[in-house]
Amino acid sequence: MAATKELSIDEKLQQLWELQQIDSKIDKIQILKGELPIEVKELEDEIEGLHTRLKNSQDEAGEMEEEIKNRKNAKALAKELITRYEKQQDNVKNNREYDALSKEIELQKLEIQLCDKKIADSTAKIDSKQLVLDETEKTIKEREKNLKNKKKELEKIIEETEKEEKELQKESDKQSKKVEERLLKAYVRIRGAYKNGLAVVAVLRDACGGCYAKIPPQRQLEIRQRKRIITCEHCGRILVAWEEPEANN
């Protein structure tokens, strides 16, 4: 059985570069989808919070309306008592009874004044609360419309990219099997360390295509010779000599 041919550094770098290009395409799809689910979730949470606020405001308005109802009943009762006490004054036998009834009438008049004040206060609060209710309901409608559009957008992206993503993932798996295990582990580790998923980058305009740190001319020469795998001294990414700017945008 013939021994497996040892790949050159140039070939190993080419394999890593090709794997990175495939994975970067997958990353772009994930980024495209990844932002929308977050936006959808944030909108759903906001709408839930707005509904809670709306219910609380409605409950508070209901309590104020109940307060007005109770105060109106108390005011009506006070008026009835005043009428009753005034009639009783016509039949009193002495000044002491008359003064006592006069005191009760005065107390009921104060009760009516208090009820009027409480009714006015609660009415003003209800008017103010109604503004909050109207604004909250308007905001809920706007957010629900926005949520509906975001969900449609997300569903469309999933529908459009699902097939492409599956095909790219198959390519990535196939390409990963070609890469030497030690290098693959390093590649996966470096990819996981950066949000943009770039582990293999080209030297662009005398700088690392990942962190943009300047690379000395002598080191650039070594990278172009492809005699060993060289990583960026600043970010640890694997550096390659060929330039394909479109792949790193």
pLDDT, tens digit, for every residue of 199-234? 999 998 899 999 999 999 999 999 999 899 999 999
> Can you list the positions of beta strands (E) in the chain?
200-204, 207-208, 230-231, 238-240
Q: In angstroms, how far is the first alpha carbon of the chain from the final one?
A: 45
pLDDT, tens digit, for every residue of 3-43? 456 888 999 999 999 999 999 999 988 887 777 888 899 99
Which strands, in side-by-side order, build the sheet including 230-231?
A: 207-208, 200-204, 238-240, 230-231
How high is the pLDDT of residue 242? Answer: 65
Residue ranges of domains in the chain: 34-178, 180-249
The CATH number of 34-178, from 3.30.420.40, 3.10.180.10, 1.10.287.1490, 1.10.3720.10, is 1.10.287.1490
How high is the pLDDT of residue 7? Answer: 85
Instruction: Confirm whether pTM is higher than 0.85.
Output: no
